[in-house]
Structure 1
Amino acid sequence: MIVEFEGDVFRWDAREDSAWFFTAVPPELSDAIREIPRPHRGFGSVRVRARVGSTQWATSIFPSSDGTYVLPLKKAVRDAEQLVEGGIAVVRLEVLDG
């Protein structure tokens, strides 16, 4: 399954000394991904191949408290694609589990 979407880049402060950046998979796409039969993984994660701009990487998406999945945006990706908090990420996800 391949999905494409635009999402806001947001920060989650896990601890005072670190911050993580994510974008959320829209609810309707999260619902479709959730329906794919797959083996259970830690934290409900789903393995994906993500692309933002010309940067592609293997990672996982994780369920959030509102029922959507979130895609972590590591620093190398944010730097390469000039993503900033409050900006927009144009994302292509290929779901590898399932």
Structure 2
Amino acid sequence: MKSSFDAEIWYWRGPAPFYFVNLPEPDCAELRELAKEVSYGWGMIPVHARIGDTSWETSLFPRDGRYALPLKSAVREAEGLGDGDSAHFEVAVQVRSGRWV
């Protein structure tokens, strides 16, 4: 599964603070179907993500019935993005065999 969307960055002030974007609900519905095949511990889903010229591998977090994409500091800094900024994101889900779907 590949997804391309615009989203606003939000800051989570938990014990390990981090920045995220929420995937659109239609994509989350499709991800819930794929989760049986691709998720690992706590429902995490491995993905390849891209913002602008920056790409990285990470995992989507299940949160409040949706999925959130974590943004590493190096990624945000490379693209000049922070809390409340909007950007265009691309994600591709990876199955356990290493294939991208």
The aligned residue for residue 33 of structure 2 is: 35
Tell me the SS of whatever aligns to 1:85: coil
Structure 1: runs of 5 or more not aligned: none
Q: Which TM-score applies when normalising by structure 2?
A: 0.87
CA distance in 1, matches of 2:49, 2:39: 20
The aligned residue for residue 85 of structure 1 is: 83
Q: C-alpha offsets along residues 33-79 of structure 1, whole Å, 9 cap, x if unaligned?
A: 111241541110000000011111111001102x1100000100000
Task: Find runs of 4+ consecutive structure 1 residues off by over 4 angstroms.
Answer: none
Structure 2: runs of 5 or more not aligned: 96-100
User: Is residue 2:23 matched to residue 1:25?
Assistant: yes
Query: Given that residues 9 and 20 in structure 2 are in contact (C-alpha distance below 8 angstroms), is that contact kept between their aligned partners in structure 1?
Result: yes
Tell me the SS of whatever aligns to 1:86: coil
Shift, 1:19, TM fit? 2.1
Q: Which TM-score applies when normalising by structure 1?
A: 0.90
The size of the alignment, in residue pairs, is: 95
The aligned residue for residue 12 of structure 1 is: 12
CA distance in 2, matches of 1:79, 1:39: 29
Shift, 1:89, TM fit? 2.2
Query: Given that residues 23 and 89 in structure 1 are in contact (C-alpha distance below 8 angstroms), is that contact kept between their aligned partners in structure 2?
Result: no
CA distance in 1, matches of 2:59, 2:79: 19
CA distance in 1, matches of 2:6, 2:39: 27
Instruction: Give the aligned residue type for 1:46.
Output: I
CA distance in 1, matches of 2:39, 2:51: 26
Instruction: Give the aligned residue type for 1:59.
Output: T
Identical columns (%): 36
RMSD value, Cα: 1.4
